[in-house]
Amino acid sequence: MLYLVDDAADYRFLVQQVFSLFLPAYALRFFVDGQELLAYVEQQAPLVPKLATGSVGAGLIVPDLTRPGLIVLDMDMPGLGGLQTLERLKQYPLWQSIPVVLMSHRIEPELLERAYQLGANAYLSKPMELVELKDTLEQLCHQWLDG
């Protein structure tokens, strides 16, 4: 399962078409912004306080969740941008191990550095052409969701 967080309806439509035509074996879920994703995450797995020992205690019940194998965040969204969403997402212990890829039209060294500091697994140039989008999504699915 791949979660894509992007405020642009036309871009979500293109991604849906790529998955329907070329990646039908993969599940996809859309969120229109970081706030919608975080509301969903909070509903699925509220913030669990970290135990002093750093391990899961005998009395802690971890909910049975279906979590994505990869989250792709658009950097430039109104409200919570990609970096702010990533920072808040990583506060949820049950979601910290999920890989997150940020995409943007802007590839600036300071943004890349901050993204990796916050726990991003990759920072990619956002593909806009259909063939490039297809190739990028195929690579992401094969790298992060297979096996």
Tell me: pLDDT of 26 over 70.
yes
pLDDT tens for each residue of 48-105: 554 434 444 444 445 445 789 999 999 999 999 999 999 999 999 889 999 999 999 9
pLDDT tens for each residue of 102-127: 999 988 999 999 999 999 999 999 99
Task: Tell me how many domains the chain contains.
Answer: 1
Confidence at residue 48, expressed as pLDDT on a 0 to 100 scale:
56
Confidence at residue 56, expressed as pLDDT on a 0 to 100 scale:
47
pLDDT tens for each residue of 30-57: 999 999 999 999 988 766 554 434 444 4
Q: What is the 3-state secondary structure (H, E, C) of 40-100?
A: HHHHHCCCCCCCCCCCCCCCCCCCCCCCCCEEEEECCCCCCCHHHHHHHHCCCHHHCCCCE
In a domain, 34, yes or no: yes
In a domain, 137, yes or no: yes
In a domain, 90, yes or no: yes
In a domain, 105, yes or no: yes
Quote the percentage of the chain above a pLDDT of 70.
84
CATH code of the domain covering residue 100 = 3.40.50.2300
Max CA separation in the chain (angstroms): 51
In a domain, 53, yes or no: no
In a domain, 95, yes or no: yes
In terms of residue numbers, what domain contains 102?
2-44+66-144
In 3-state terms, what secondary structure has residue 8? coil
In a domain, 57, yes or no: no
Q: What tokens were used for 13?
A: 């439509």
In a domain, 72, yes or no: yes
Q: How confident is the model at residue 146 (pLDDT cuts 50, 70, 90)?
A: very high
Confidence at residue 46, expressed as pLDDT on a 0 to 100 scale:
64
Q: What tokens were used for 106?
A: 């802007």
Confidence at residue 44, expressed as pLDDT on a 0 to 100 scale:
82
pTM of the model: 0.86
